[in-house]
Structure 1
Amino acid sequence: MDLFALPPVAAVLGGAYHALMGLSHLLEPALGAGAAAAAVVAVTLVVRAALVPVGVSQARAERTRVRLAPRVAELRRRHRKDPEALQRATMQLYADEGTTPLAGCLPLLLQAPVVGVIYAVFVHAEIAGGANALLGHTLFGVPLGSSLVGVLSGGAPGVAAVVVLGALVLAVALVGELTRRAALPGGPLAVPSATPASVGAPGMQRALGALQFVTAAVACVVPLAAGLYLLVTVVWTLVQRILLRRRFPLDPAAPGGGPAIP
Structure 2
Amino acid sequence: MDLYAFPPIAAILDAAYAGLMGLAALLEPLTGSAAAAASVVLLTLLVRVALIPVGVSQAKAEQTRSRLAPKLRALQQRHKRDRERLQRETMKLYADEKASPLAGCLPMLAQAPVIAIVYTLFLHSTIAGHANGLLTQQLLGVPLGASLTGVIVTGTVSLGALGVFAAVLAVIVITAEITRRAFRPPVDDAPDASALAGAGMARLAGVLQFATAVVALFVPLAAGLYLATTVAWTLVQRVLLRRRYPLAPADPRDSGRA
TM-score by length of 2: 0.89
Measured in 1, the distance between the counterparts of 2:164 and 2:41 equals 16
Question: Which contiguous aligned blocks of 4+ residues in structure 1 show a shift greater than 2 angstroms?
Answer: 190-198, 200-210
Residue 241 of structure 1, CA deviation: 1.1
Give the RMSD, CA atoms, in angstroms: 2.3
The question of 1:234 aligning with 2:237 is answered no
Closer/same/farther in 2, CA of residues 122 and 156 from structure 1, 3 Å limit: closer
Per-residue Cα deviation, 1:23-71 (whole angstroms, up to 9, x for no partner):
0011112211111111000000011111111111111111111111121
1:193: Cα distance to partner? Answer: 6.1
Q: How does 1:71-220 map to 2 (within 5 A)?
A: 71-184=71-184, 191=186, 201=198, 204-220=201-217
Preserved contact between residue 187 and residue 198 of structure 2 (Cα < 8 Å): no
Question: 2-side partners of 1:75 and 1:92: how far apart?
Answer: 11
In 2, are the aligned partners of 1:148 and 1:166 still within 8 Å (CA)? no
Report if aligned partners of 2:20, 2:40 keep a CA contact under 8 Å in 1.
yes
Q: Please name the residue that 1:257 is paired with.
A: none
Contact 2:5 2:129 in 1 (8 A): no
Identity across aligned pairs (percent)? 57
Higher relative contact order structure (alpha carbons within 8 Å, sequence separation ≥ 6) = 2
CA distance in 1, matches of 2:134, 2:228: 18
Paired with 1:151 and 1:37, the residues of 2 have a C-alpha distance of: 18
Corresponding position of 1:49: 49
Which runs of 5 or more structure 2 residues have no equivalent in the other structure?
251-258
Q: Partner letter of residue 75 of structure 1?
A: L
Supply the distance in 2 between the matched residues of 1:149 and 1:89 (Cα, whole angstroms). 52
Task: Measure how far apart 1:203 and its partner are.
Answer: 5.1
Question: Which stretches in structure 1 are left out of the alignment for 5+ residues?
Answer: 185-189, 254-262
Amino acid at match of 1:170: A
TM-score w.r.t. length of structure 1: 0.88
1:165, CA displacement in angstroms? Answer: 1.4
